Every structure is written in structure tokens, then in C-alpha cells.
Structure 1
Amino acid sequence: MQNIKSKVFNKNEKSLKKEEIEEKLKINENISFGENIGFHEISNNEGNINIHQIHNNIGINEISYVPYSNEVDYATFSRVLSDSKVVATYKMYWLLGLLDEVSIGNVEISFRKLISRMITYAWYPILAYKLSFGLCDNLVKVVNYIADTYNLGSNYDEKKLLEFIYNNEDKTLNKMMKDLTYNVPYRFLSPFFQDKLKGETTKVEKIIEELSKESKTCVYSIYRNEDNESYIRINNGWGNYLKYNYKIIQGWAYYKLVCFLQKRNPNTPGIAMKLEAPKSRNLTAQTAIWKEIIQRKHIVDIYTDKEFIDDNYKLYGVLSLDHFIPWSFVLHDQMWNLVPTFKNINSKKSDNLLDYDTYIDKFCNIQYEAFEFVVNEKKKNQIEEYREMLKIADPKEFLDKESKEVFFKMIKKEVYPVYNIAVNQGFGVVNELF
């Protein structure tokens, strides 16, 4: 997986504007816009189809996300992730896996390899961020089964994970992976055969498989090998289209994934940043500030009530900054959510929450010490973090005029709802660490 962050959610600069589509789509008006409302041979000798009809059929918003091509049916392709056809994350992850396989030159790709990639993509969002994928999505069950059965953590290496899943002979896992192949490889192609599928309610997958073998315009055809194992073969033109437009199409898939997951996790911050593991994090500046606070104010660890002295560092590990509400939920390193502790204690806490009633006053007290320090020392970045969090206009004036009790009340007002949302999303709560 490549790092996508928020940049992939900008619309493709190469995507066609309405005028460009009108200029480039010269299609015979005497033939329908496809048996599947799709792409047909362009005729320069015939009249043009009504562009408004095209837009009504495929949706101008959808077509604007994918790159133009005069070699493949990009118009119908733009509808494979239409909201009306997406009830789970499967299609987005299937497309991401397909892009990865094509990018390394593969033309024939087994269902199993693509399903393995889907599970690998879903691994971190499910285990680290505990995102809800909805009731219809069984990727969560597969990910949790692998993690629990083989004791693999959320940060397990992606390449090793893909290899582990693909080569695993676990019968239960293989059955779960097989179940994931019953719909998505076929339904992904359904926009290409829309007219031919009208009225069909049974054996739709079998029909799509046969139609894919006859089609020259859909993304891939579906076959079975001598062992009756299903695989796809990328059709002419599509390999180059997917490979050369990899980043654009990947961005489209992630955009659709974010939209889908946001609806199912409405109170969860930073969905776009929770689709893959972070590449690196640096707490050097925050650690330096907390070291100064410890030296000047002689604060103690809120989890153990131990002083930050050499003897305790030897017993419990070096100084380490903990996110009071797990980083994997808030996705930031702002001062108001950081507390100093010992490395061993921090490791023990992991991604859990501490009992709110037991620790909240200790947390507020140490945060007040930090707030007072950064304001008096004019630490601009950290002052701004507190200002935004507390919703105050002038931190210096607030510190001079308001009591510590008012600060406690305002901190609790902001932290409590975030804490509860994290609990409801599945983050564990432990009573004590020491």
C-alpha cells in the first residue's frame, strides 16, 4: 500500500469537465449507449448521442472521478463504485487489490490473491482504529479471526501479512475467504451488463461470468482453472489504463471508502487518516516540553503516583509520553491529550483507556500544570492547541483570571464525550496499571 493521506481525496485534475466530455464523446445516436448503458465504438460518420442522456445515465459526478480514455469504457467503469451499488467495503477493497496486482504486471489474477489483498487493506482500520464496516460486511470477521487465532497485531508487516493469508491452509479461514468471493468479483462488473441483467434474480453471478467471457469492453473476464479455482484475466486496454492511472483511481477508491465509512462511523474523527498505518510519528518537541515541566514543577506520573527520578526510570523505564485518549482514536499529538509516564507503564496501557472517574482529576491537574507552563513560556504552538480545545480567546487572560476549578470543568467538558465515543467504538477500559 502506498501512503495516500488526505491528498487523494482531491478530484482528479485530469478528469474531464463537462465541456471536454461533450467535445470527446462522439457516439452514434442510432445505437443505444450500450446494452449496459456503456461504451460502444465511436463513429465519426454518424450523429452524436444527447450528452444530457449520457450524464443522466452515468452521472456527471461519478464520471468526473475517473480519467478519460478512448481505449476503454471509462464511462461505465465510473459506475462500479456508485453509491446505489455499494452496501459494503468489498468493491473498494477489490479495486485497490486489483490496482496493486496490475501495477506489478499481472494479467491473470486468482480470486484468492485479490481476497488476500482485501483483507490486508482492511487489517489496520479494523484492528487499530476499530472502525465499523456495517452489518453486511464480513471482512471484520475474517480480520478478527486471523488476529485472534494467530496472535497477530494491528502493526504486523503488510507484505508478511499478505503472504501469510495467501498461503494459509487453515480450513476455517479458507472457508471465510471463499465466502467473500461469491459476490464482489461478479457484482463489480454488473454496470457493464446492466441491460442484460434486468429482471434476473437468480444465478446472476453465473450470468456475469459468462457475459464477461464474451465482452470486449469490461475490465476483466472470469475463468476457472483445471482445479476449478476462479481467476480473472485483465482485458485489452484495461491493464495500461489501470497501471498508468494508478494514483488517480486509487484516490477515487479511497474517497468512496471514506464516504462509506463516515456514514457508519459518524462520531469518529479523521476517517480519511485511518485507512492505513501511519508511516512515522515524532514527539520530540512535546517530550522536550514535558521534560522542562517535570524539572520545574516536580509533577508525578498520574498512573503510578511515582516521581520522575532516576531510581524510578530504572524500575519502570525511561520517560514516555502517553495519549490519555488513544492516539489511534484521536489521531493527533496535541499537548492537551499527552501525559508523561514511564515506558513500561505506557506499553502496558497500550491502546486502552483508563477508568474515567479514577484518573480524570489527576489528568486535569497535570494538564493545568502544562497549560500554565506553555502560556508563561510563550510556547506558541502548544498555546494554540489549548486555545482551540478550551475554546477561549486569550489563554493568558484566562490563566490570570480563572481558577483551576474552571479549567478542570472545561477540560472535562471536552474530554468526556470523546472518551465515551472511544468506549462505544470498542476501545478497552482498564481500572489501573500499577
Structure 2
Amino acid sequence: MELPYENNLDIGRLAGVFNNTSATYKFYWLLAILETCEEGKTDISKRELFARMLGNAWYTVNYFHVSFGSQDLIQRAIHIISDTENIPVNIRKENLLQTLLNTQDPNTVNLLKHFDKNVPHWFLTPWISRNRDENDSSYRNNIYKQSQQFSGQVPYALFSDSITINPVWIAYLQTNARLLKDYCYWNLSLFLQVRNPNVPNIPGKLIKPPLRNTLVKQRRDYWDIAINELDGIDCIFTNTRLTTGQYALDHFVPHAFVSHDLIWNLVPIDTTFNSVKSDKLPNMDLHFDGFYSLQKSAFEIISHHSPRSKLLEEYWYLFSGNDKNINFEYERFRDVIAPLIAIASNNGFSKLL
């Protein structure tokens, strides 16, 4: 993916900011700058940018449990702040931003200030080269000094508590903000996929979706039909008897991990228990056999009643089939589900007690 060209700017340097990146800081720093530029701001407080960095990473860390690496302060700061400030996972981004900007908690304030030690000036290294005899402190001071003169067409000038966007960059950043953010997220997804090799759909976990799917089609065209045919089923977690209209449709492997609503991962459960389960992991020894049995029964029923159902196609790839003659194998199904549960557990998803 390439950045939009601009005749009077050295876009190659902007593209080079993500070279030799060892943490997520630069990605989220640039995203924060682009957001504020879109709002028409050119003089921006560092605290607002640091708060936006955490805001853009909040859902990825807290809901999807994507690992940023053991040394990444963004991930650690989010965990600490969510506890000390008692902030819910699903908080609206604008409300989170206001909380971080207005909080007086010294721990939160210090965590935000910590990003100032490296992020703002290291981002400018493609524009300001380092002399061999410079130590970190003198190099930092040099970057601040040169940036304030807009040397080398740096995108912004650094001050103690704020940055000022270089006038020659303003139009480019504002006009191309969407493409630049896509470029940033593309590079971020590559960076995180390396650190989460077994986690599915990293790109889909970088931005909080505006709305979750309602699963109406999966209920109406699949599970309602199966439950009616079976004259009710038992919840695999509570043994409560379930009938159509009296169940919740749950992701066996949490949606926060798989990031899809494929029918082979959905199962009707007790509506009361659904809120307790949340995104907790089921116990394979206790719950998989019941899950498999319901899945197999429903598949056979829908194959008979609605053989052309598009929902049945979602099993083809699960069982490596290229037609509708699927052998609903227990071991094959378990070999798909068990690794997902194990990886999700390693990524911080808690288990049902």
C-alpha cells in the first residue's frame, strides 16, 4: 500500500516512520495526529494526543485481547487505567477521551506523560538525522530545536506540552486523512499479526465496530427450525429447556476472539446464563460434546428442510468439503474448536468457572 503523492513534500520520509518499529506507539501517534487534523486543529496538546492513542487502542486491547507485546506501554497503560478509573470496555470513544483529558488521578496522568519520553521526537527521525556523538538527551533536544524551525519539512514542531503542525503539511494531512489512516492501520495489522500469529482477523480487531450483527437470520432460518423439529433442546451449560423465542444465540468460541458470526460457532443457550457467560471460554471437557451434538442435529435438520440454505455453506470449509455431502465428524469438529479455545485462553480470555 502506497501513500498519496504530493509534489512539494517528501512522502517517502513519512512512509519510513514505521521502519524498524518495535512497539505500537508510532502507529497510534500518527492516528491521533490525523484525527485532530481532521477536526481542523493545528496546535494540539500532547495530552490530547496521548489520550487519543489509548482511545484508539482501547477496544483492541480490552475486548479483543490482542497482544501488543510484553514491553508495549499502551497495552499496560490501558489495563491499569481501566481498573483505576473503573472504565467499562464498551465506553464510547469520545467519553473515554474526556475522561483521560479531565482525570486528576496521578497514576493516569503519569501514564499519559510517560509517552512524552520517546514517542513525539522519535517519530521525527526520518526527517532529522542523528550525529554519531549525540547521546539520547542531546539528540532529543536537537530534534526539538530543529522541529521548531521546521527543518527538513518535518510534519510538526515540538514544544514542551504541545505540537504545531507544519503549515506545508496541513492540507495534505487533512485532504488525505482517510487514506493515511488506512495506511497506518494496514501497517499496524502487519505488525500485530506477527505478534499474534494464531489470532484470526487482526485487521477486523483494530476498530470498534459501530454495531454488532443481530443474528436474526441465524435464529429465524436455522436454529428456530431445528428447535421446533426437536420439540425443544437443553442448554449445554445449564440444562434449561429451550424453545423458540426463549433462548439466546451465543458464540461458543467468543465473538471477541473469532470476530465472525458463522453458524458452526453459534449455539442456543439459556438467556439468563448468556449475560453470565459473556466472552468467557467454555470448558471443552464439559461442554463440547453437548455443543457438537446440537450442531450435528441442527445441520441434519436444515440439510433436510432447507438444503439450499446459504448457512449450510459455512460448514463446507470447516470440514474441507466442496459439496453438500459433509461427514459431520466429531474429531474434525473438535480439532477446529479446541485450538481456538486454547489460543484465546493464552490471549487473556477467562474461562467459565
Q: TM-score range by the shorter chain?
A: over 0.9
Encode CA deviations 1:17-39: one digit per residue, 9 max, x unaligned: xxxxxxxxxxxxxxxxxxxxxxx
Deviation at 1:328, TM superposition (A): 0.8
Equivalent in the alignment of 1:284:
216
Q: What does the per-residue CA deviation read over 1:370-398, in whole Å, with 9 as the maximum and x for residues that have no partner? A: 11122212143222111111123443363
- 1:131 CA displacement: 0.8
What is residue 321 of structure 2 aligned with on the other side?
A: 392
Q: Who is 2:242 aligned against? A: 308
Which position in structure 1 is the counterpart of 2:248? Answer: 320
CA contact 1:124–1:277 (8 Å) conserved in 2: yes
The amino acid of 1:152's aligned partner reads I
The aligned residue for residue 9 of structure 2 is 72
SS, match of residue 339 in structure 1: strand
Q: 1:257 aligns with which of 175, 179, 188?
A: 188
Tell me the equivalent position of 2:122.
187
CA shift, 1:309, in A, is: 4.5
Query: Corresponding residue for 1:410?
Result: 332
Q: Residues 397 and 332 (structure 1 numbering): CA distance in 2 closer, same or farther, change over 3 Å?
A: closer
- 1:174 deviates by 0.8
- The 1:397–1:112 alpha-carbon spacing in structure 2 relative to 1, beyond 3 Å, is closer
3-state DSSP of counterpart to 1:126:
helix
The correspondence of residues 30-179 of structure 1 with structure 2, limited to 5 A, is: 65-82=2-19, 84=20, 86-179=21-114
Helix, strand or coil at the partner of 1:67: coil
- Asked whether the 8 Å contact 1:374–1:382 carries over to 2, the reply is no
Cα offset, 1:341, TM superposition? 1.4
The counterpart of 1:420, out of the listed 316, 331, 342, is: 342
Per-residue CA deviation, residues 193-245 of structure 1 (Å, 9 max, x unaligned), is 12x44442331222211111123410001123xxxxx2101112111110001
Cα contact 1:269–1:330 (8 A) shared by 2: yes
Q: CA offsets per residue over residues 43-87 of structure 1, 9 Å max, x none?
A: xxxxxxxxxxxxxxxxxxxxxx222112333232221122x2x11
Q: Are 1:333 and 2:261 matched, yes or no? A: yes
Given that residues 73 and 218 in structure 1 are in contact (C-alpha distance below 8 angstroms), is that contact kept between their aligned partners in structure 2? no
Q: Which amino acid aligns with 1:296?
A: E
Gaps of 5+ in 2: none
Q: Structure 1 residues 379, 351: closer, same or farther in 2, change over 3 A?
A: farther
Secondary structure, aligned partner of 2:157 = strand
2-structure distance, mates of 1:112, 1:137 = 18
Give the TM-score normalised by structure 2. 0.94
- The residue aligned with 1:201 is 135
Report SS of the residue matched to 1:69.
coil
Shift of the 197–104 alpha-carbon distance from structure 1 to 2, 3 Å rule, reads farther
- Tell whether the 8 Å contact from 1:336 to 1:367 is kept in structure 2 after alignment: yes
The alignment partner of 1:134 has SS state of: coil
Contact 2:34-2:181 within 8 A present in 1 as well? yes
Match 1:234 to one of 154, 165, 179 = 165
CA distance in 1, matches of 2:133, 2:34: 32
Verify the 8 A CA contact 2:27 2:188 in the aligned structure 1: yes
1:379 and 1:124 mapped to 2: Cα distance? 37
- The 2-side partners of 1:374 and 1:331 are apart by 24
What letter matches 1:103 in structure 2?
A: E
1: distance between equivalents of 2:280 and 2:253? 8
The one-letter code of the counterpart of 1:91 is K
- Partner residue, 2:280: 352
Q: Give 1 or 2 for the bigger CA radius of gyration.
A: 1
* Secondary structure of the structure 2 residue equivalent to 1:354: coil
C-alpha displacement at 1:413, in angstroms? Answer: 1.5
Q: Is the 8 A contact 1:87 1:136 kept in 2?
A: no
Checking the alignment, whether the CA contact within 8 Å between 2:225 and 2:302 is kept in structure 1 is no
Q: Work out the CA distance in 2 between the residues paired with 1:211 and 1:417.
A: 52
List per-residue Cα deviations over 1:280-310 (Å, max 9, x = no partner).
Answer: 2130110112111111113221111111259
The alpha-carbon deviation at position 172 of structure 1 amounts to: 0.6
* Matched residue, 2:294: 366
Query: RMSD of aligned C-alpha atoms?
Result: 1.6
Write the distance in 1 (CA, Å) between the matches of 2:18 and 2:191. 11
**Aligned residues of 1:390 and 1:414 also touching (Cα < 8 A):** no
Q: Which consecutive residues of structure 1, in runs of 5 or more, have no partner in the other structure?
A: 1-10, 12-64, 225-229, 400-406
2 CA distance for matches of 1:258 and 1:296? 44
Is the partner of 1:102 in helix, strand or coil?
helix
TM-score, with structure 1 as normaliser = 0.77
| Equivalent in 154, 157, 161 of residue 218 of structure 1 | 154
- Between the aligned residues of both structures, percent identity stands at 33
How far off its partner does 1:170 sit? 0.6
Structure 1 pair 164–107 and aligned structure 2 pair: CA distance change class (3 A): same
Matched residue SS, 1:391: coil
**SS at 2:331's partner residue?**
helix
Q: CA deviation digits over 1:2-31, x for unaligned, max 9?
A: xxxxxxxxx3xxxxxxxxxxxxxxxxxxxx
Q: Secondary structure of 2:17's partner?
A: coil
Runs of 4+ in structure 1 off by over 3 angstroms are 196-199, 393-399
